[in-house]
Amino acid sequence: MKFVLSFLCLLLVVTNSVLLLFQYDAYSSGLEEDGQAFLYEQEVEMKVKKDKIVIKQHFTNIPNEQVTVLWPIISENRSCDLDANDSCNRLTEDMTTLNAGESAKQSISYEIPLVDGLTDGQLIENFLVKLDEGGVSLTSLHITDEVKRGGMWVSGLPVIGKTSLELIDYTLSVGAGDVQELYWQQEVLPVQYEDDHFTIYASNTLSDEVTNLLGELDFTNNEHLAVLFEDNRNSIDASRIAFIQQEDIASIQQELIIKNIQAQFGLTQDDQQIAEVLASFLLKIPVGSTKSIWMYETVTNYLTADQRLEFQTTLLNNKQTTAAKFDEILTNTIDLKTSFFVLNEQAGAENFPLLFEDYRPVYINELRHEEMKILFKDSKVLYAAEPLLTTLGYTLNDTDKGLYVQNETRAFRFPIQEPFYVLNKKRFDAQSVPFEVIGSQLYIEEAWMIRLFLLNIEKQDKRINIAQSALF
């Protein structure tokens, strides 16, 4: 049987070597651009038993300097692979480091427990050893199921071949990049479409419209993606595995585009909004949730054609994909400070408008206040109310009767949407409302702030000074 498996592996690898070579070269170039300290290849042999997975992991092209070994937290019985020559001559006794040395290939073994056995629809995460500061350029994944469960294994790598022998089931996958998750389900879905970017598993044959769409999708990420056309019943969130319940054009397009962007820029499901906005700008089409589309259209409509091109180009070349970095790029593009993306991230489902800020730091009673924001909106200058007033010694209490602001000597009440306010139980009429809620934050207009809270404001070239009046 060992001879049969060896021959099968050799045949399958040779058959696909040309295709994988192109994918590997492209992926390696991408990793180098991402600033990885080094690239390595890995071959992973997995024997799936009833209550555990026994793994042998072989690393190739390891640099000759010292490398930290990052073990999966759940791994047990860690050791070197004694079946391989010189497999652990660089591995330290505590198995946390590969010492500096000339051996570019090292092999280890360990076990991943299956506490409840292997269940239908199970996702196994963070199960492989990593080499710190290294990027995986190519992975070969051998899965031998000694229980002969049948079913299908999905990792995101292209499946080169599989077979069922008398005592085992065997699957071989080879492709660019690392394996972050491994999924198993009992029902076997046939492959209905496959190209360099993804493999589509579905019960039914795909329509010509869907097939044409898949062929037209232009992916910039080199990591292969596995797509299952079925309900994501266990709410699986995986970097290289996607579930699409509705086989309509919009669902397919959005899911694949977002997964591609997340993989390319290292984004997780928690970064869904950023991934959707980034995809919209890079593809120049609205993608994602209603809010993500609104954010994309808001910025796009503000920018000139040249600014849009500059913004898109900088986003594509950017390695730090965060809301704060988006704001930095947009600020540099329009030469006006904004926190549009950060504030919308903080605002949840609410829409925070595209507003611009005073770039100067704010000092309150001679102390710099990092949380202070000053916004320009509709010809008004608005100050973040809570950090300002709490620093001045006031407490704020927002109730169903209005906003209460008070200290030891002065007590204000500002009714909701009514043109008056109360100071120490005396009512005063007002022509406008002092406070305004933007996103989920409360702001106060500058003229009202000076008048009500007896403040002096001095605006210098490099700072803004706020101090309580001597009359206070």
What's the pLDDT tens digit per position in 334-372? 999 999 998 888 877 888 889 999 989 999 989 998 888
The strand ranges marked E within 121-245 are 122-125, 130-131, 134-145, 152-154, 159-164, 169-176, 181-185, 191-194, 198-201, 225-228, 241-243
Burial environment of residue 221 by CB neighbours within 10 A (0 to 12, 13 to 18, 19 or more): buried
Query: Across residues 170-179, what is the average pLDDT?
Result: 95
Query: Across residues 182-192, what is the average pLDDT?
Result: 95
pLDDT at 8: 43
Query: Across residues 221-244, what is the average pLDDT?
Result: 86
Distance CA 84, CA 102 (A): 16
pLDDT at 23: 43
User: Residue 472 — pLDDT band, cuts 50, 70, 90?
Assistant: low
List, in order, residues 6 or more apart from 246 with CB less than 8 Å away: none
Backbone angles phi and psi of 139, in degrees to 5: -125, 130
pLDDT at 436: 87
Please give the residue that has the higher pLDDT: either 36 or 293: 293
Q: Does residue 19 register a pLDDT over 70?
A: no
Taking the domains of the chain in order of start, what are their residue ranges?
2-187, 192-266, 279-343, 358-468
Q: In CATH, what class is 358-468? A: alpha beta
List, in order, residues 6 or more apart from 286 with CB less than 8 Å away: 280, 292, 293, 296, 297
Q: In CATH, what class is 2-187? A: mainly beta
pLDDT at 471: 58
Burial environment of residue 67 by CB neighbours within 10 A (0 to 12, 13 to 18, 19 or more): buried
List, in order, residues 6 or more apart from 161 with CB less than 8 Å away: 8, 12, 171, 172
User: Residue 387 — pLDDT band, cuts 50, 70, 90?
Assistant: very high
Highest mean pLDDT among 114-128, 228-242, 270-284, 318-332: 114-128
Please give the residue that has the higher pLDDT: either 225 or 222: 225
* CA-based nearest residue to 453, from 403, 406, 402: 406
pLDDT at 129: 97
User: Rounded to whole angstroms, what are the CA distances from 227 to 223, 246, 273, 463?
Assistant: 13, 12, 21, 54
Please give the residue that has the higher pLDDT: either 215 or 140: 140
Identical fold between 2-187 and 358-468: no
pLDDT at 186: 96
Burial 339-363 (b: 16+ CB within 10 A, else e): bbbbbbbeeeeeebebbbbbeeebb
pTM, two decimals, is 0.64
> Average pLDDT, whole number, for the chain?
85
User: Residue 207 — pLDDT band, cuts 50, 70, 90?
Assistant: confident
Phi-psi region of 42 (alpha: psi -120 to 50; beta: other; left: phi over 0): beta
